[in-house]
A = this chain, B = another copy of it.
Amino acid sequence: MHLKEQTVKEPVLLDFRTHPDRYLHWKLTLEGSVAYLRMDVNEGGSAFEGYELKLNSYDIGVDIELYDVVQRLRFEHPEVKVVVMTSAKQGMFCAGANIRMLGGATHAHKVNFCKFTNETRNSIEDASERSEQIYVAALNGTAAGGGYELALATDYIMLIDDGNAAVSLPEVPLLAVLPGTGGLTRIVDKRHVRRDLADVFCTVEEGIKGQRAVDWRLVDEIVPRSRFVSRVDEKAKELAKLSDRPSDGAGVELAPLERVISETTMSYPYLEVSLDRAGRSATLKVQGPSRETKDLEDIKAQGVNFWPLAVLRALDDALLSLRFNEPELGTLIITSEGDAAKVEHDDQLLYEHQQDWFVREILLFAQRVFKRVDVTSRTTFAFVEQGSCFTGFLSDLLFAVDRSYMLDGQLEGDQRPVPKISLSRLNFGLLKMPNGLSRLETRFLGEPETLERLRGQIGEPLGADDALTAGLITFTPDSIDWEDEVRLLLEERASFSPDALTGMEANLRFAGPETLESKIFGRLSAWQNWIFQRPNAVGEDGALKLYGTGKRANYDRRRI
Protein backbone atom coordinates (compact mmCIF):
# COMPACT_ATOMS: atom_id res chain seq x y z
CA MET A 1 0.00 0.00 0.00
CA HIS A 2 1.36 3.37 -0.94
CA LEU A 3 -1.30 5.19 1.01
CA LYS A 4 0.04 7.74 3.40
CA GLU A 5 -1.12 6.17 6.61
CA GLN A 6 -1.06 7.28 10.17
CA THR A 7 -1.22 11.03 10.06
CA VAL A 8 -2.35 10.89 13.69
CA LYS A 9 0.18 9.82 16.24
CA GLU A 10 -0.81 6.66 18.05
CA PRO A 11 0.60 6.00 21.50
CA VAL A 12 3.05 3.19 21.95
CA LEU A 13 0.93 1.23 24.39
CA LEU A 14 -2.79 1.35 25.03
CA ASP A 15 -3.95 0.59 28.56
CA PHE A 16 -7.47 -0.75 28.94
CA ARG A 17 -7.52 -0.36 32.70
CA THR A 18 -9.29 2.68 34.01
CA HIS A 19 -11.58 3.80 36.84
CA PRO A 20 -14.56 6.17 37.13
CA ASP A 21 -12.36 8.56 39.11
CA ARG A 22 -10.25 9.01 36.02
CA TYR A 23 -12.96 9.16 33.35
CA LEU A 24 -12.58 12.06 30.97
CA HIS A 25 -15.67 11.46 28.90
CA TRP A 26 -18.50 9.87 30.86
CA LYS A 27 -20.53 10.87 33.91
CA LEU A 28 -22.31 8.24 35.94
CA THR A 29 -25.18 9.10 38.28
CA LEU A 30 -26.86 6.42 40.37
CA GLU A 31 -30.47 6.84 41.38
CA GLY A 32 -31.50 3.60 43.01
CA SER A 33 -32.51 1.07 40.38
CA VAL A 34 -31.73 3.50 37.54
CA ALA A 35 -28.29 4.67 36.48
CA TYR A 36 -27.79 7.67 34.22
CA LEU A 37 -24.74 7.41 32.02
CA ARG A 38 -24.03 10.74 30.36
CA MET A 39 -21.65 11.09 27.47
CA ASP A 40 -19.68 14.28 27.86
CA VAL A 41 -16.64 13.90 25.68
CA ASN A 42 -13.70 16.10 26.55
CA GLU A 43 -12.62 17.70 23.27
CA GLY A 44 -9.02 17.88 24.28
CA GLY A 45 -8.88 14.43 25.78
CA SER A 46 -8.16 12.36 22.68
CA ALA A 47 -6.17 9.15 23.01
CA PHE A 48 -3.82 10.12 20.17
CA GLU A 49 -2.44 13.42 19.01
CA GLY A 50 -3.76 15.14 15.92
CA TYR A 51 -7.49 15.64 16.38
CA GLU A 52 -10.11 17.03 18.74
CA LEU A 53 -13.10 15.10 19.97
CA LYS A 54 -15.76 17.56 18.92
CA LEU A 55 -19.53 17.03 19.17
CA ASN A 56 -19.30 14.04 21.48
CA SER A 57 -17.37 12.08 18.88
CA TYR A 58 -15.34 9.19 20.20
CA ASP A 59 -12.04 7.42 19.83
CA ILE A 60 -10.57 4.37 21.52
CA GLY A 61 -10.06 6.34 24.76
CA VAL A 62 -13.75 7.18 25.01
CA ASP A 63 -14.60 3.59 24.29
CA ILE A 64 -12.22 2.18 26.87
CA GLU A 65 -14.10 4.18 29.49
CA LEU A 66 -17.44 3.01 28.13
CA TYR A 67 -16.30 -0.59 28.32
CA ASP A 68 -15.14 -0.04 31.87
CA VAL A 69 -18.37 1.51 33.06
CA VAL A 70 -20.57 -1.14 31.41
CA GLN A 71 -18.49 -3.79 33.14
CA ARG A 72 -18.58 -2.04 36.51
CA LEU A 73 -22.32 -1.46 36.40
CA ARG A 74 -22.85 -5.19 36.12
CA PHE A 75 -20.50 -6.21 38.92
CA GLU A 76 -20.50 -3.26 41.26
CA HIS A 77 -24.17 -2.35 41.01
CA PRO A 78 -26.53 -5.30 41.26
CA GLU A 79 -29.21 -2.80 42.30
CA VAL A 80 -29.06 -1.02 38.92
CA LYS A 81 -31.76 -2.49 36.72
CA VAL A 82 -31.89 0.12 34.03
CA VAL A 83 -29.09 2.19 32.53
CA VAL A 84 -30.11 5.34 30.68
CA MET A 85 -27.48 6.43 28.18
CA THR A 86 -27.78 10.06 27.31
CA SER A 87 -25.63 13.07 26.56
CA ALA A 88 -24.51 16.00 28.66
CA LYS A 89 -24.17 18.15 25.55
CA GLN A 90 -26.96 20.33 24.16
CA GLY A 91 -28.52 19.12 20.92
CA MET A 92 -26.03 16.34 20.29
CA PHE A 93 -26.21 12.83 21.68
CA CYS A 94 -23.13 11.59 19.89
CA ALA A 95 -21.61 12.28 16.47
CA GLY A 96 -20.01 8.84 16.18
CA ALA A 97 -16.40 7.83 15.75
CA ASN A 98 -14.11 10.78 15.24
CA ILE A 99 -13.53 11.15 11.53
CA ARG A 100 -10.16 12.84 11.66
CA MET A 101 -8.96 10.03 13.89
CA LEU A 102 -10.28 7.43 11.42
CA GLY A 103 -8.85 9.33 8.48
CA GLY A 104 -5.42 9.40 10.04
CA ALA A 105 -5.18 6.04 11.75
CA THR A 106 -3.48 2.96 10.36
CA HIS A 107 -5.59 0.24 8.79
CA ALA A 108 -4.69 -1.99 11.72
CA HIS A 109 -5.92 0.53 14.26
CA LYS A 110 -9.17 1.15 12.40
CA VAL A 111 -9.91 -2.58 12.28
CA ASN A 112 -8.98 -3.20 15.91
CA PHE A 113 -10.85 -0.13 17.07
CA CYS A 114 -14.03 -1.24 15.26
CA LYS A 115 -13.73 -4.73 16.72
CA PHE A 116 -13.39 -3.44 20.26
CA THR A 117 -16.27 -0.97 19.89
CA ASN A 118 -18.35 -3.82 18.48
CA GLU A 119 -17.52 -5.99 21.46
CA THR A 120 -18.52 -3.22 23.85
CA ARG A 121 -21.83 -2.68 22.06
CA ASN A 122 -22.42 -6.43 22.20
CA SER A 123 -21.70 -6.33 25.92
CA ILE A 124 -24.41 -3.68 26.28
CA GLU A 125 -26.85 -6.01 24.55
CA ASP A 126 -25.60 -8.86 26.69
CA ALA A 127 -26.33 -6.80 29.84
CA SER A 128 -29.89 -6.08 28.68
CA GLU A 129 -30.60 -9.63 27.61
CA ARG A 130 -28.80 -11.76 30.13
CA SER A 131 -27.91 -9.63 33.14
CA GLU A 132 -31.34 -7.98 33.16
CA GLN A 133 -29.62 -4.64 33.39
CA ILE A 134 -31.60 -2.98 30.65
CA TYR A 135 -30.10 -0.21 28.55
CA VAL A 136 -32.18 2.69 27.28
CA ALA A 137 -30.94 5.33 24.86
CA ALA A 138 -32.34 8.75 25.69
CA LEU A 139 -31.41 10.76 22.63
CA ASN A 140 -31.64 14.33 23.80
CA GLY A 141 -30.04 15.42 20.54
CA THR A 142 -28.87 14.03 17.22
CA ALA A 143 -27.34 10.55 17.14
CA ALA A 144 -25.21 10.30 14.02
CA GLY A 145 -23.25 7.35 12.66
CA GLY A 146 -21.55 5.53 15.50
CA GLY A 147 -23.68 7.61 17.86
CA TYR A 148 -26.82 6.06 16.47
CA GLU A 149 -25.11 2.66 16.42
CA LEU A 150 -24.51 3.06 20.15
CA ALA A 151 -28.23 3.69 20.58
CA LEU A 152 -28.99 0.63 18.43
CA ALA A 153 -27.20 -1.52 21.00
CA THR A 154 -29.69 -0.51 23.67
CA ASP A 155 -33.09 -2.08 24.24
CA TYR A 156 -35.22 1.01 23.84
CA ILE A 157 -34.52 4.21 21.91
CA MET A 158 -36.22 7.48 22.85
CA LEU A 159 -35.66 10.49 20.60
CA ILE A 160 -36.39 14.06 21.55
CA ASP A 161 -38.93 15.60 19.15
CA ASP A 162 -37.69 19.16 18.88
CA GLY A 163 -37.69 19.66 15.12
CA ASN A 164 -33.90 19.21 15.01
CA ALA A 165 -32.72 16.01 16.63
CA ALA A 166 -32.39 13.15 14.16
CA VAL A 167 -30.91 9.71 13.95
CA SER A 168 -28.64 9.04 10.99
CA LEU A 169 -26.09 6.74 9.42
CA PRO A 170 -24.36 9.18 7.06
CA GLU A 171 -21.20 7.11 6.53
CA VAL A 172 -21.93 6.03 2.97
CA PRO A 173 -22.80 9.44 1.48
CA LEU A 174 -20.38 11.42 3.63
CA LEU A 175 -17.33 9.26 4.17
CA ALA A 176 -17.51 6.40 1.66
CA VAL A 177 -17.25 3.84 4.45
CA LEU A 178 -19.84 1.72 6.24
CA PRO A 179 -21.47 2.29 9.58
CA GLY A 180 -18.98 -0.21 10.96
CA THR A 181 -20.14 -0.98 14.47
CA GLY A 182 -23.19 -3.05 13.76
CA GLY A 183 -25.52 -0.39 12.39
CA LEU A 184 -26.34 -2.00 9.07
CA THR A 185 -26.93 -5.37 10.69
CA ARG A 186 -28.92 -4.08 13.65
CA ILE A 187 -31.35 -1.97 11.64
CA VAL A 188 -32.51 -4.85 9.47
CA ASP A 189 -31.90 -7.80 11.80
CA LYS A 190 -32.66 -6.44 15.25
CA ARG A 191 -35.08 -3.61 14.62
CA HIS A 192 -36.56 -5.11 11.44
CA VAL A 193 -36.40 -1.89 9.50
CA ARG A 194 -37.61 -2.78 6.02
CA ARG A 195 -34.62 -3.19 3.72
CA ASP A 196 -35.68 -0.56 1.19
CA LEU A 197 -36.33 1.98 3.95
CA ALA A 198 -32.98 1.02 5.46
CA ASP A 199 -31.38 1.75 2.09
CA VAL A 200 -32.98 5.18 2.05
CA PHE A 201 -32.04 5.86 5.65
CA CYS A 202 -28.38 5.01 5.04
CA THR A 203 -28.10 7.47 2.16
CA VAL A 204 -29.78 10.47 3.79
CA GLU A 205 -26.96 12.53 5.28
CA GLU A 206 -29.17 14.52 7.59
CA GLY A 207 -30.97 11.45 8.89
CA ILE A 208 -34.58 10.96 9.91
CA LYS A 209 -36.43 12.69 12.72
CA GLY A 210 -39.85 12.89 14.33
CA GLN A 211 -42.72 10.53 13.59
CA ARG A 212 -41.03 9.07 10.51
CA ALA A 213 -38.24 7.75 12.75
CA VAL A 214 -40.87 5.83 14.71
CA ASP A 215 -42.77 4.70 11.60
CA TRP A 216 -39.59 3.29 10.12
CA ARG A 217 -38.73 1.61 13.45
CA LEU A 218 -35.51 3.58 13.80
CA VAL A 219 -36.52 4.64 17.30
CA ASP A 220 -39.13 3.34 19.69
CA GLU A 221 -40.61 6.60 20.84
CA ILE A 222 -40.40 10.33 20.23
CA VAL A 223 -40.97 12.72 23.10
CA PRO A 224 -41.50 16.49 23.05
CA ARG A 225 -38.75 18.54 24.63
CA SER A 226 -40.96 19.67 27.52
CA ARG A 227 -41.67 16.12 28.64
CA PHE A 228 -38.38 14.46 27.65
CA VAL A 229 -36.71 14.21 31.04
CA SER A 230 -39.82 13.11 32.90
CA ARG A 231 -40.82 10.60 30.24
CA VAL A 232 -37.34 9.04 30.19
CA ASP A 233 -37.46 8.77 33.94
CA GLU A 234 -40.91 7.20 33.81
CA LYS A 235 -39.88 4.69 31.13
CA ALA A 236 -36.74 3.76 33.05
CA LYS A 237 -38.72 3.05 36.21
CA GLU A 238 -41.23 1.03 34.23
CA LEU A 239 -38.48 -1.12 32.68
CA ALA A 240 -36.76 -1.51 36.05
CA LYS A 241 -39.76 -3.46 37.26
CA LEU A 242 -39.07 -6.17 34.66
CA SER A 243 -35.59 -6.97 35.96
CA ASP A 244 -34.76 -9.82 38.33
CA ARG A 245 -31.66 -8.14 39.73
CA PRO A 246 -31.59 -7.92 43.53
CA SER A 247 -32.37 -4.54 45.05
CA ASP A 248 -30.37 -5.35 48.16
CA GLY A 249 -27.35 -7.19 46.76
CA ALA A 250 -23.94 -5.89 47.70
CA GLY A 251 -21.85 -5.10 44.68
CA VAL A 252 -18.41 -6.52 44.01
CA GLU A 253 -15.82 -3.86 43.48
CA LEU A 254 -13.61 -4.33 40.44
CA ALA A 255 -10.41 -3.42 42.25
CA PRO A 256 -7.54 -2.30 40.01
CA LEU A 257 -6.15 -5.18 38.01
CA GLU A 258 -2.56 -5.91 39.04
CA ARG A 259 -0.27 -6.16 36.10
CA VAL A 260 3.48 -6.06 35.67
CA ILE A 261 4.81 -5.60 32.16
CA SER A 262 8.36 -6.14 31.02
CA GLU A 263 9.89 -6.28 27.56
CA THR A 264 9.00 -9.96 27.26
CA THR A 265 6.29 -10.66 29.86
CA MET A 266 2.92 -9.53 31.11
CA SER A 267 2.23 -10.85 34.61
CA TYR A 268 -1.19 -10.91 36.22
CA PRO A 269 -2.62 -12.84 39.12
CA TYR A 270 -3.20 -16.34 37.67
CA LEU A 271 -1.91 -15.46 34.21
CA GLU A 272 1.62 -15.23 32.88
CA VAL A 273 2.09 -14.03 29.32
CA SER A 274 5.46 -14.57 27.62
CA LEU A 275 6.20 -12.73 24.43
CA ASP A 276 8.45 -14.31 21.82
CA ARG A 277 9.11 -11.54 19.34
CA ALA A 278 11.57 -13.52 17.25
CA GLY A 279 9.10 -16.36 16.94
CA ARG A 280 6.17 -13.93 16.65
CA SER A 281 4.08 -15.67 19.29
CA ALA A 282 2.81 -15.13 22.81
CA THR A 283 2.15 -17.83 25.37
CA LEU A 284 -0.66 -17.27 27.85
CA LYS A 285 -0.23 -19.58 30.79
CA VAL A 286 -3.35 -19.74 32.92
CA GLN A 287 -2.72 -20.72 36.52
CA GLY A 288 -5.19 -22.70 38.61
CA PRO A 289 -6.69 -21.53 41.90
CA SER A 290 -4.36 -21.11 44.85
CA ARG A 291 -7.02 -21.70 47.47
CA GLU A 292 -10.18 -23.66 47.90
CA THR A 293 -13.49 -21.84 47.87
CA LYS A 294 -16.14 -23.18 50.21
CA ASP A 295 -19.51 -21.93 49.08
CA LEU A 296 -21.49 -19.02 47.68
CA GLU A 297 -20.82 -16.96 50.75
CA ASP A 298 -17.12 -17.54 50.36
CA ILE A 299 -17.35 -16.60 46.67
CA LYS A 300 -18.91 -13.29 47.61
CA ALA A 301 -16.42 -12.71 50.38
CA GLN A 302 -13.58 -13.17 47.89
CA GLY A 303 -15.29 -10.99 45.31
CA VAL A 304 -12.85 -9.92 42.66
CA ASN A 305 -10.28 -12.35 44.03
CA PHE A 306 -12.46 -15.39 43.44
CA TRP A 307 -10.24 -17.35 41.07
CA PRO A 308 -12.51 -17.66 38.02
CA LEU A 309 -13.21 -13.93 38.00
CA ALA A 310 -9.58 -13.04 38.62
CA VAL A 311 -8.34 -15.24 35.82
CA LEU A 312 -11.00 -13.93 33.40
CA ARG A 313 -10.10 -10.32 34.13
CA ALA A 314 -6.46 -11.10 33.44
CA LEU A 315 -7.27 -12.93 30.21
CA ASP A 316 -9.51 -10.11 29.05
CA ASP A 317 -6.86 -7.48 29.59
CA ALA A 318 -4.14 -9.62 28.06
CA LEU A 319 -6.14 -10.29 24.90
CA LEU A 320 -6.95 -6.61 24.39
CA SER A 321 -3.39 -5.55 25.09
CA LEU A 322 -1.97 -8.12 22.68
CA ARG A 323 -4.38 -7.06 19.95
CA PHE A 324 -3.52 -3.39 20.12
CA ASN A 325 0.02 -3.37 21.42
CA GLU A 326 1.61 -6.45 19.85
CA PRO A 327 0.38 -6.63 16.25
CA GLU A 328 3.28 -8.78 15.08
CA LEU A 329 2.72 -11.61 17.55
CA GLY A 330 0.56 -13.61 15.18
CA THR A 331 0.16 -16.76 17.25
CA LEU A 332 -1.31 -16.98 20.73
CA ILE A 333 -0.61 -20.16 22.64
CA ILE A 334 -2.80 -21.01 25.58
CA THR A 335 -1.41 -23.31 28.25
CA SER A 336 -2.35 -23.99 31.85
CA GLU A 337 -0.76 -25.10 35.09
CA GLY A 338 -2.28 -26.03 38.39
CA ASP A 339 -4.43 -28.34 40.41
CA ALA A 340 -7.20 -29.68 38.20
CA ALA A 341 -9.25 -30.73 41.23
CA LYS A 342 -9.34 -27.16 42.50
CA VAL A 343 -10.39 -25.89 39.07
CA GLU A 344 -13.13 -28.48 38.98
CA HIS A 345 -14.29 -27.49 42.42
CA ASP A 346 -14.66 -23.81 41.47
CA ASP A 347 -16.26 -24.83 38.22
CA GLN A 348 -18.90 -26.81 40.07
CA LEU A 349 -19.62 -23.88 42.36
CA LEU A 350 -20.22 -21.74 39.28
CA TYR A 351 -22.59 -24.32 37.87
CA GLU A 352 -24.50 -24.81 41.11
CA HIS A 353 -24.96 -21.12 41.82
CA GLN A 354 -25.57 -19.94 38.25
CA GLN A 355 -28.83 -18.32 39.36
CA ASP A 356 -27.10 -16.01 41.79
CA TRP A 357 -26.62 -12.57 40.27
CA PHE A 358 -22.87 -12.46 40.94
CA VAL A 359 -22.14 -15.97 39.71
CA ARG A 360 -24.30 -15.24 36.68
CA GLU A 361 -22.10 -12.22 35.99
CA ILE A 362 -18.97 -14.33 36.23
CA LEU A 363 -20.38 -16.87 33.79
CA LEU A 364 -21.50 -14.17 31.38
CA PHE A 365 -18.09 -12.56 31.65
CA ALA A 366 -16.48 -15.91 30.87
CA GLN A 367 -18.68 -16.12 27.81
CA ARG A 368 -17.63 -12.65 26.69
CA VAL A 369 -13.92 -13.22 27.26
CA PHE A 370 -13.97 -16.53 25.42
CA LYS A 371 -15.84 -14.83 22.56
CA ARG A 372 -12.95 -12.39 22.38
CA VAL A 373 -10.73 -15.39 21.72
CA ASP A 374 -13.11 -16.49 18.96
CA VAL A 375 -12.95 -13.16 17.15
CA THR A 376 -9.31 -12.31 17.79
CA SER A 377 -7.50 -12.23 14.47
CA ARG A 378 -4.53 -14.23 15.66
CA THR A 379 -3.87 -17.90 15.28
CA THR A 380 -4.74 -19.58 18.54
CA PHE A 381 -3.25 -22.87 19.70
CA ALA A 382 -3.57 -24.70 22.99
CA PHE A 383 -0.81 -26.89 24.37
CA VAL A 384 -1.82 -29.40 27.01
CA GLU A 385 1.34 -30.17 28.90
CA GLN A 386 2.31 -31.91 32.12
CA GLY A 387 0.94 -30.26 35.21
CA SER A 388 -1.83 -28.54 33.27
CA CYS A 389 -5.38 -28.08 34.51
CA PHE A 390 -7.68 -27.88 31.49
CA THR A 391 -10.93 -28.87 33.10
CA GLY A 392 -14.34 -27.33 33.41
CA PHE A 393 -14.74 -23.93 31.85
CA LEU A 394 -10.99 -23.76 31.21
CA SER A 395 -11.31 -26.71 28.86
CA ASP A 396 -13.62 -24.61 26.70
CA LEU A 397 -10.45 -22.77 25.68
CA LEU A 398 -9.32 -26.00 24.02
CA PHE A 399 -12.35 -25.76 21.76
CA ALA A 400 -11.98 -22.02 21.20
CA VAL A 401 -8.54 -22.35 19.64
CA ASP A 402 -7.67 -23.23 16.06
CA ARG A 403 -5.80 -26.36 17.09
CA SER A 404 -4.84 -28.16 20.29
CA TYR A 405 -1.80 -30.32 21.01
CA MET A 406 -1.64 -32.68 23.99
CA LEU A 407 1.50 -34.41 25.14
CA ASP A 408 1.09 -38.17 25.17
CA GLY A 409 3.20 -39.24 28.18
CA GLN A 410 5.91 -37.44 30.10
CA LEU A 411 8.97 -35.53 28.97
CA GLU A 412 12.32 -36.76 30.22
CA GLY A 413 13.13 -35.26 33.57
CA ASP A 414 9.69 -33.78 34.10
CA GLN A 415 8.00 -35.29 37.12
CA ARG A 416 4.75 -33.33 36.90
CA PRO A 417 1.55 -35.30 36.31
CA VAL A 418 0.81 -36.70 32.86
CA PRO A 419 -1.56 -34.36 30.97
CA LYS A 420 -5.28 -34.95 31.40
CA ILE A 421 -8.27 -32.91 30.41
CA SER A 422 -11.90 -33.15 31.43
CA LEU A 423 -15.28 -31.70 30.62
CA SER A 424 -17.86 -30.17 32.92
CA ARG A 425 -21.48 -29.19 32.60
CA LEU A 426 -20.39 -25.64 31.75
CA ASN A 427 -19.11 -26.86 28.38
CA PHE A 428 -22.60 -27.87 27.33
CA GLY A 429 -24.40 -24.61 26.69
CA LEU A 430 -23.39 -22.06 29.30
CA LEU A 431 -20.52 -20.66 27.26
CA LYS A 432 -21.89 -19.86 23.87
CA MET A 433 -19.92 -18.68 20.85
CA PRO A 434 -21.01 -15.66 18.79
CA ASN A 435 -22.91 -18.10 16.54
CA GLY A 436 -25.20 -18.99 19.45
CA LEU A 437 -23.90 -22.55 19.86
CA SER A 438 -21.60 -23.98 22.48
CA ARG A 439 -18.09 -24.65 21.27
CA LEU A 440 -18.71 -28.39 21.46
CA GLU A 441 -21.88 -28.05 19.38
CA THR A 442 -19.94 -26.11 16.76
CA ARG A 443 -17.07 -28.58 16.87
CA PHE A 444 -19.39 -31.52 16.38
CA LEU A 445 -21.92 -29.87 14.10
CA GLY A 446 -24.50 -32.33 12.91
CA GLU A 447 -23.39 -34.98 15.44
CA PRO A 448 -25.84 -34.89 18.33
CA GLU A 449 -24.81 -38.46 19.21
CA THR A 450 -21.22 -37.34 19.80
CA LEU A 451 -22.43 -34.59 22.12
CA GLU A 452 -24.52 -37.12 24.01
CA ARG A 453 -21.55 -39.43 24.38
CA LEU A 454 -19.36 -36.58 25.63
CA ARG A 455 -22.02 -35.60 28.14
CA GLY A 456 -21.60 -39.06 29.58
CA GLN A 457 -17.89 -38.35 30.05
CA ILE A 458 -18.36 -35.22 32.18
CA GLY A 459 -15.86 -35.20 35.03
CA GLU A 460 -13.84 -38.10 33.65
CA PRO A 461 -10.12 -37.29 33.37
CA LEU A 462 -9.09 -38.07 29.81
CA GLY A 463 -5.51 -38.91 28.89
CA ALA A 464 -4.08 -38.13 25.46
CA ASP A 465 -5.41 -41.28 23.82
CA ASP A 466 -8.91 -40.86 25.18
CA ALA A 467 -9.00 -37.16 24.37
CA LEU A 468 -7.90 -37.85 20.80
CA THR A 469 -10.46 -40.60 20.36
CA ALA A 470 -13.16 -38.34 21.76
CA GLY A 471 -12.26 -35.72 19.15
CA LEU A 472 -11.41 -33.15 21.80
CA ILE A 473 -7.77 -32.69 20.81
CA THR A 474 -6.18 -32.21 17.39
CA PHE A 475 -2.88 -34.05 17.83
CA THR A 476 -1.12 -35.93 20.62
CA PRO A 477 2.62 -36.11 19.94
CA ASP A 478 4.58 -38.34 22.29
CA SER A 479 7.53 -37.27 24.39
CA ILE A 480 10.00 -37.99 21.57
CA ASP A 481 8.18 -35.85 19.01
CA TRP A 482 6.68 -33.14 21.20
CA GLU A 483 9.41 -30.51 21.08
CA ASP A 484 10.12 -30.84 17.37
CA GLU A 485 6.49 -30.89 16.45
CA VAL A 486 5.67 -27.81 18.48
CA ARG A 487 8.69 -25.94 17.13
CA LEU A 488 7.89 -26.79 13.51
CA LEU A 489 4.25 -25.88 14.02
CA LEU A 490 5.10 -22.41 15.28
CA GLU A 491 7.71 -21.82 12.60
CA GLU A 492 5.34 -22.89 9.88
CA ARG A 493 2.52 -20.71 11.14
CA ALA A 494 4.79 -17.70 11.41
CA SER A 495 5.79 -18.18 7.77
CA PHE A 496 2.26 -17.71 6.39
CA SER A 497 0.68 -14.47 5.29
CA PRO A 498 -0.96 -12.84 8.32
CA ASP A 499 -3.86 -11.65 6.16
CA ALA A 500 -4.60 -15.04 4.66
CA LEU A 501 -4.58 -16.57 8.15
CA THR A 502 -6.99 -13.92 9.41
CA GLY A 503 -9.39 -14.65 6.58
CA MET A 504 -9.05 -18.41 6.87
CA GLU A 505 -9.58 -18.51 10.61
CA ALA A 506 -12.55 -16.14 10.43
CA ASN A 507 -14.21 -18.61 8.08
CA LEU A 508 -13.34 -21.90 9.78
CA ARG A 509 -14.22 -20.88 13.33
CA PHE A 510 -17.94 -20.28 12.90
CA ALA A 511 -19.62 -23.31 11.40
CA GLY A 512 -23.37 -23.50 11.88
CA PRO A 513 -25.93 -20.75 12.25
CA GLU A 514 -25.23 -17.05 12.26
CA THR A 515 -26.54 -14.52 14.74
CA LEU A 516 -26.66 -10.75 14.89
CA GLU A 517 -23.28 -10.92 16.57
CA SER A 518 -21.61 -13.30 14.16
CA LYS A 519 -23.04 -11.40 11.21
CA ILE A 520 -21.48 -8.23 12.57
CA PHE A 521 -18.06 -9.83 13.01
CA GLY A 522 -18.28 -11.83 9.79
CA ARG A 523 -20.19 -10.18 6.99
CA LEU A 524 -20.23 -6.55 8.15
CA SER A 525 -16.70 -6.24 9.50
CA ALA A 526 -15.22 -8.11 6.55
CA TRP A 527 -16.83 -5.66 4.13
CA GLN A 528 -15.77 -2.70 6.22
CA ASN A 529 -12.19 -3.99 6.33
CA TRP A 530 -12.28 -4.20 2.54
CA ILE A 531 -13.59 -0.67 2.25
CA PHE A 532 -10.94 0.51 4.71
CA GLN A 533 -8.43 -0.58 2.08
CA ARG A 534 -10.08 1.01 -0.92
CA PRO A 535 -8.70 4.24 -2.38
CA ASN A 536 -12.24 5.61 -2.67
CA ALA A 537 -12.26 5.78 1.12
CA VAL A 538 -8.68 5.97 2.32
CA GLY A 539 -6.68 7.13 -0.71
CA GLU A 540 -5.33 10.67 -0.86
CA ASP A 541 -8.47 11.62 -2.81
CA GLY A 542 -10.72 9.35 -0.76
CA ALA A 543 -13.70 10.64 1.15
CA LEU A 544 -12.38 9.71 4.57
CA LYS A 545 -9.14 11.62 3.99
CA LEU A 546 -10.82 14.66 2.46
CA TYR A 547 -13.57 15.04 5.05
CA GLY A 548 -13.63 18.54 6.40
CA THR A 549 -11.27 19.96 3.74
CA GLY A 550 -14.11 21.18 1.55
CA LYS A 551 -12.76 19.05 -1.31
CA ARG A 552 -14.90 16.39 -2.92
CA ALA A 553 -13.68 12.86 -3.27
CA ASN A 554 -12.97 11.76 -6.81
CA TYR A 555 -14.16 8.17 -7.00
CA ASP A 556 -13.04 5.32 -9.20
CA ARG A 557 -16.46 4.55 -10.62
CA ARG A 558 -16.02 0.85 -11.23
CA ARG A 559 -18.39 -1.31 -9.24
CA ILE A 560 -16.72 -4.31 -7.70
Contact = CB atoms under 8 A, between A and B. Distances in A.
A261 interface: no
Given A196-B404, A199-B402, A514 B511 contact: no
Contact of A199 (B327, B445, B497, B505): B505
A447 interface: yes
Nearest to A327: B558
Interface string A152-195: 00000000000000000001110111100000110111001011
Interface string A221-250: 000000000000000000000000000000
* Range class of the A interface residue count: 35 or more
A559 B238 CA distance: 46
Interface in A504-557: 504-514, 519, 522-524, 526-531, 533-537, 539, 543, 553, 555-557
Contacts of A539: 1
Please tell me how many copies of the chain the complex holds. 2
B497 A543 contact: yes
B560 A172 contact: no
Interface in A41-62: none
Q: Which of A172, A199, A501, A519 has the largest number of chain B CB atoms within 10 A?
A: A199
A427 B1 CA distance: 47
A274 interface: no
B443 A537 contact: no
A527 B498 CA distance: 13
A403 B200 contact: yes
Interface of A: 1-2, 107-108, 111-112, 171-173, 175-178, 184-185, 187-189, 192, 194-200, 202-203, 280, 327-330, 377-378, 401-404, 442-447, 471, 474, 492-493, 495-514, 519, 522-524, 526-531, 533-537, 539, 543, 553, 555-560
Given A111-B560, A199-B402, 20 more contacts: A107-B560, A108-B559, A108-B560, A184-B507, A188-B445, A188-B508, A192-B446, A192-B511, A194-B444, A196-B402, A196-B443, A200-B403, A498-B559, A501-B559, A502-B560, A507-B524, A510-B523, A514-B523, A523-B523, A523-B526
29 contacts: A1-B539, A2-B2, A107-B560, A111-B560, A171-B500, A172-B504, A176-B500, A178-B507, A184-B504, A185-B507, A187-B508, A189-B445, A196-B403, A196-B474, A199-B403, A327-B558, A328-B557, A497-B555, A498-B555, A498-B556, A498-B558, A498-B560, A500-B531, A503-B527, A507-B523, A523-B523, A526-B526, A526-B527, A530-B530
